[in-house]
Amino acid sequence: METEVQAFYKNKTIFVTGGSGFLGKVVIEKIMRTTEVKRLYILMRPKRGVEIHERIASWLTDPVFQNLLNVKPNAFECLVPIAGDCAELDLGISEQDRQILRNEVQIVIHSAATVRFNEPLHHALDINVRATRLVMELGKEMQHLESFVHVSTAFSNCVVNHIKETYYPELLSCPAAKVLELKEQLSNELLDKMTPALLDKFPNTYTYTKALAEHLVQTESGDLPMCIFRPGIIIASYKEPVSGWIDNLYGPISILLAAAFGVMRICRVDVKKEANVVPVDFCANLLIASVWKTAIDAKSAKEQKPEHITQKDGENSTNNPIQKEEEQKTFGKPIYNFVSSEHNPLTWGAFIGKVSELGPAYPITKMMWFPFLIPTNSQFLYQLLIFFYHVIPGYAIDLILRLRGKRPRMVKLYEKIHKNFELLGPFVDRSWKFQTTNMQRLWEHMSISDRKVYEFDITKVNWNEYFSRALAGMRIYLAKEEPGNESIERGQKIRARFEILHRLLQVIVCSAGAVILWSMVKLLIRF
């Protein structure tokens, strides 16, 4: 029997940006598998010489879509790629395609973004901010639009400790519209030089431009039936469409993979701070449900007579010109924070602990050394440990590679790893408190049948079970290991051999250190 959410999506036409991304693929798969949508238009650009129709065709062999194709072999008939690029003016969409979108689309899911923390500011502004404005402008031209979801991040306002489900224009050093004006007036080089001044307290261009995009939603969305979805750190799937599925190396998964290969052994992280990680399938379910709820609220608002809102002098007033000008424009545009810390907390220490405990059951046959990971939040200790565990081994391996006539690569690899940890620093050294009222209200508003189909209750996540599935998925989908017990048993044998060598090396190093220390003590006694 059809649920309320499924009934809403039936025969709908949807426009998706960022559909080829990690979250985008899972959202598209879930919509096609659980609903009878009429059409899904996906904004897509050629990539590495592969045209958009070829990119869509390659999804036929992508593991994330296999369950869908087993149930609905003709599911891809509703997928229509639209040539475009969020980095271009007017999104690079032809007038013909634009007219199709104007006439047919009822739902917009805008999830396209560059998630690189160190993206040059001019490029991040194009994709994360200007594109948001352009998609909203296109949305205003759509004749049958019922719901529009903008995908942000839980860390878009990370400069405050308590992140509520509201807008934070006061955190910006300059309004979003003004920053985009500067982008048009200045050269890319000059704008990038202004990055520190514009970012102010924001740790990187990613969080800053996502905050700017939210400000555009607040100030320029007008009458669009719209909401903002703010997920935490999105990690591998828990249950759907296949458990443990992941196709990228962003965030903490890159740390786990490097550790599983035996390459990375030291990480700088405060083990007591909370890891606001959320499974990608739960994120997709909440996003799909928020589309439905936004449409319901917009329809209800249209049926009701608008009430005049007055404010007494001095009541909730502010001297901030950005906030004061726009404080009434957020009505009807809810924000959904989605994190694990408020209802099913997981610290970075527990994260690493579960990986260390469960990891041996899913070894990688291509490992270079015995896998282990030592966390520390001391900068001095971190620098000392990476010298012994990363720098020295890196130069030693590169020397061996040179002697064999091969290209050295380990020192550069470690430099990249250490640089990535510097970028992750602001997110692993502190904790935030998040308000999740809207998310909880949405869950309560859903029927029991919809809760089963579109589950996003984070309290239901068993972290031990989750990490078992995620580690199993990581070795298959990222490390490209063969599934099955034979590959696992081979990996366990390799791991056992490396453990013997690792323990032997520890004995040798400790013995050598003891000998050197004893020699120094004898010299001191002699003098």
> Residues 273-326: pLDDT tens digits?
999 999 999 999 999 999 999 999 988 887 775 554 444 433 444 455 444 444
User: Is pLDDT above 50 for 355?
Assistant: yes
Give residue 305's pLDDT: 57
Decide: 112 and 131 in contact? Cβ < 8 Å.
yes
Backbone φ, ψ for residue 146 (5° rounding) = -115, -25
Q: Is the pTM of this model over 0.85?
A: yes
Residues 63-73, mean pLDDT to the nearest whole number: 94
Name the nearest CA neighbour of 176 among 206, 219, 143.
219
Would you say the C-alpha torsion 458, 463, 466, 467 has a positive or negative sign?
positive
Backbone φ, ψ for residue 239 (5° rounding) = -125, -40
pLDDT in tens, 227-237: 999 999 999 99
User: Is pLDDT above 90 for 50?
Assistant: no
Give residue 194's pLDDT: 93
Q: Is 395 helix (H, G, I), strand (E, B) or coil?
A: helix
Name the nearest CA neighbour of 169 among 322, 334, 318, 319.
322
What CATH number belongs to 4-250+275-345+431-477? 3.40.50.720
Q: What is the Cα 380 distance to its own chain's centre?
A: 30
Name the token pair of 515. 């000998």
Give residue 332's pLDDT: 64
DSSP letter (8 states) at residue 254: H
Residues 470-488, mean pLDDT to the nearest whole number: 92
Which band of pLDDT confidence, cut at 50, 70 and 90, is reported for residue 341?
Answer: confident
Residues 69-87, mean pLDDT to the nearest whole number: 94
pLDDT in tens, 495-505: 999 999 999 98
Stretch (H or E) spanning 278: strand 277-279
- Compute the distance between CA of residue 132 and CA of residue 77 in angstroms, rounded to an integer: 28
Backbone φ, ψ for residue 502 (5° rounding) = -65, -45
Give residue 321's pLDDT: 46
Decide: 150 and 229 in contact? Cβ < 8 Å.
yes
Backbone φ, ψ for residue 393 (5° rounding) = -60, -35
Q: How far is CA 504 from CA 174, 364, 499, in A?
A: 58, 21, 8
User: Is pLDDT above 90 for 215?
Assistant: yes
Residues in the chain: 527
Q: Given the DSSP bridges, would you call strands 147-151 and 226-231 parallel, antiparallel or unpaired?
A: parallel
Top pLDDT among 522 and 484 is at 484
Give residue 97's pLDDT: 96
* DSSP code string of 30-73: HHHHHS--SEEEEEE--BTTB-HHHHHHHGGG-GGGHHHHHH-T
Give residue 342's pLDDT: 84
Decide: 491 and 365 in contact? Cβ < 8 Å.
yes
Give residue 314's pLDDT: 39
- Compute the distance between CA of residue 32 and CA of residue 11 in angstroms, rounded to an integer: 11
Residues 179-195, mean pLDDT to the nearest whole number: 94
pLDDT in tens, 505-520: 889 988 888 888 888 8
Domains of the chain: which residue ranges?
4-250+275-345+431-477, 348-428+483-526
Please name the residues in contact with 441: beta carbons below 8 A apart, sequence gap of 6 or more: none
Name the nearest CA neighbour of 286 among 244, 340, 331.
340
Q: How far is CA 145 from CA 24, 91, 103, 141, 148, in A?
A: 20, 19, 9, 9, 8
- Compute the distance between CA of residue 497 and CA of residue 500 in angstroms, rounded to an integer: 5
Give residue 315's pLDDT: 41
